[in-house]
Amino acid sequence: MQRRVLLGLGAVMVVASCGRIRESRLNPFNWFGRARRREAVPAAPEAPQDPRLLVAEVVSLSVDPYSTGAIVRAKGIPPSQGWWEAELVPRPIDENGVLVYDFRVFPPLIETPAGTPRSREITVAASLSTVALDPVTEIVVQGATNALSSRR
């Protein structure tokens, strides 16, 4: 009898909290939406210089939740084949909760053919913990000619 009462109360509490969880940051489906085009974010003048260049164009962005945070994935297309050592380089989070990543990559050491856009695609990812994600309301990945963003 006591077991049924406890199970019943537990079920009522779970159902009652569903509305609150749906609107909170605890719900992984509520984290980030689809990527949208965004205006470029200028770099701060005191930002450390990275010798790598920005990828020519950012073509996709996704923020995928996992058990202890999220993975930010971006795909970019450089002007030719042979670009290497790509990385999402984070900037400090601004006062509005915007986290900007610069999509940086080294150019080829020798002249290379352009090839097809698909043959030039570069995919990079960065992992963020739940704690690091807490103040973030928007994630932006910056390329040389465009930027994509995903908002909560």
For the stretch 15-39, pLDDT in tens is: 555 544 444 555 554 455 566 676 6
Residues ≥6 apart with Cβ < 8 Å to 104 = 50, 52, 53, 54, 55, 86, 87, 88, 89
**What is the pTM (predicted TM-score) of this model?**
0.72
Is residue 116 a contact partner of residue 60, using CB atoms and an 8 Å limit?
Answer: no
At 63 the pLDDT is 94
Collect the ranges in the chain with pLDDT lower than 50: 19-23, 29-30
CA-angle at 38, arms to 120 and 152, nearest 5°: 105
Q: How far apart are alpha carbons 114 and 80 in whole angstroms?
A: 4
Size of the chain in residues? 152
Q: How far apart are alpha carbons 108 and 129 in whole angstroms?
A: 33
At 21 the pLDDT is 44
Residue 40: name the closest of 57, 52, 53 by CA.
57
